[in-house]
Amino acid sequence: MIRAFWIELRRSPLRWALPVLIAIELGMLFGRNTDWIGVWPQASAAAQVPVAEMAILLSAAAAWSAARVQRADGIEQWSAVARPLWQREAVHLAATVVYGLIPLLVGAIAAAVVSVGTAGPGFLWPSYLLLGATVVIIAAALGHLAGRLTQSWLVPLLIGAGVYLGLLWFASSDTFSFSVLSGAPQVEITTPALLTRLALAVALVVAAVGFQPPSRSSWTEHRYRATVLPSLLVLLTIVGVMTAGPLRQGREPPDEPLCSDRVPQVCIWPEHRRHLAELTAIAERLEAVAASRLFVIPESFHEEGLRTPEDGATFPVTLGLWAAARGMAYGVLNASFGDESLCAPATAAGEEQQQEALTEMLEWLVARAWGGMRPADYHGGFDYDEEELRRVLRLPDDEQFEWARERITTAYEATCGA
């Protein structure tokens, strides 16, 4: 069996696809943002992200490879051998799966290598890697099954596109998604969701290797079992996936989050330890605006998930440090001008005036916290005059504070002075 497996491995057409698969994995891993480096759950999820794209090529190549007997017009020849069909197909499919898992493994190793120096205790989260492996197995099994069903040259194209579109389609579903885009430490893959997806992958493998092509032979008395039972198994596991609940759920916050020893204090999930120094610096830059006596700086900033916003200022880290700075600036704004101090404007014009003033102030606070303008790779938020903000940021602190005081006055005037 081992020897046959090695032959399959050596002669699989997927060996030609392997460099491309690895390039996809590493290209997507390092070609997008690299904020995941040094954060174990993020690195784990990042290694898994390219699997959806790899699945296109993997399923297509699996279909091509699985159709080799039909392509060689060898169904009859191969039906006269002693080795049971499922064993032949299992060895063949195993080689295909290995070629799908190698890029994932390479990506995981690369993610671990670049993270190990900064991530601190812990390691890659197996659940994300298992999720990626599950998608690899599903894609390979679907491709293999499709290739065995028909040898049309269109099948690899169709199955590749179908698998990708399916993954995209299900990605928007909370209960039926098979991939994640990032691995915030606040959430984790649930065991039932992972197990049911693995069960689905196994069921598809059983279907892919057990399928009996139509033939006249009645020696194979178990054909109905080989076709009907795997189909039922696949259906059952699909129901299992749909009833297993969301793919991920929130994690219990740690008893002792990782906190800075400065004021204001910054507390984060331990997995985000590599960001603590930068986040502390952001908080300290915000603290500097306290000199204006215009703002209330919270005593502590907590990363999302460690406490609720009602309990105090929270900020996200998963979306990047600029987003974290923005979250902290929100915290300052809320602490300074929360609902209790700002009334609802009486008119639409007043509301617009207040909103504009608050937006300008927020963006100024964010820029102060961040130490500059918004990075080019961050998008969204409210519209504001960036040139004006650049001009203000070049002013001495006391003039900036005076500028901020004017915005505050405008906000209050809009609220209560109308």
Partner 1 sequence: MRGVEVIIEAKGLAQGYGRKLVFSGLRLSLGVGTVGLLGPNGAGKTTLLRTLATIIPPRQGTLRIDGRMIRRAAEVREARRRIGYLPQHFAYFPGFTVYEFVRYCAWLREVPEATAHEETERAIAAVNLTAQSGRKLRSLSGGMLRRCGIAQAIVGRPRVVLLDEPTVGLDPEQRLEFREIVRSLTDATVVLSTHLVEDVAAVCDRVLVMQGGEIRFDGTPDELAGLARPGARGDSPLERGYTTVLSNRVAA
Which residues here bind partner 1, judged by CB under 8 A? 1, 3-4, 7, 10-11, 13, 68-69, 72-74, 76-84, 88, 216-222
Q: How many CB atoms lie within 10 A of CB 161?
A: 13
Nearer to partner 1, 221 or 252 (CB): 221
- Return the number of the residue (225 or 262) whose C-beta is nearest partner 1: 225
Half-sphere exposure of 205 (CA within 13 A, CB side): 21
Q: Compute the least distance from the CB of residue 131 to partner 1, in Å.
A: 33
User: Between 7 and 263, whose beta carbon lies closer to partner 1?
Assistant: 7
Shortest reach from residue 85's CB to partner 1, in Å: 10
Q: Where are the alpha helices (DSSP H) in 172-243?
A: 191-210, 223-243
CB 101 to partner 1: min, Å: 22
Task: Output the smallest distance, CB 370 to partner 1, in A.
Answer: 56
State the nearest-atom distance from the C-beta of 63 to partner 1, in Å.
16
Return the sign of the alpha-carbon dihedral for residues 14, 17, 19, 20.
Answer: negative
Backbone angle region of 48, left / alpha / beta, with phi > 0 → left and psi within -120 to 50 → alpha: alpha
Residues 230-268 as b or e (16 or more Cβ within 10 Å = b): beebbeebbebbeebebbbeeeebeeebbbbeeebebbb
Q: Cβ 5 to partner 1, closest distance in Å?
A: 10
Structure token digits, residue 350:
């007043």
What are 71's two structure tokens?
């392509």
Q: Which two tokens stand for residue 384?
A: 């504001």
Residue closer to partner 1 by CB (options 77, 175) is 77
Residue 236, token pair as written in the block: 């059952």
The values of phi and psi at residue 86, to 5°, are -65, -30
Q: Which residue number, 15 or 307, has a Cβ lying nearer to partner 1?
A: 15
Give 88 or 251: the residue with its C-beta nearer to partner 1.
88
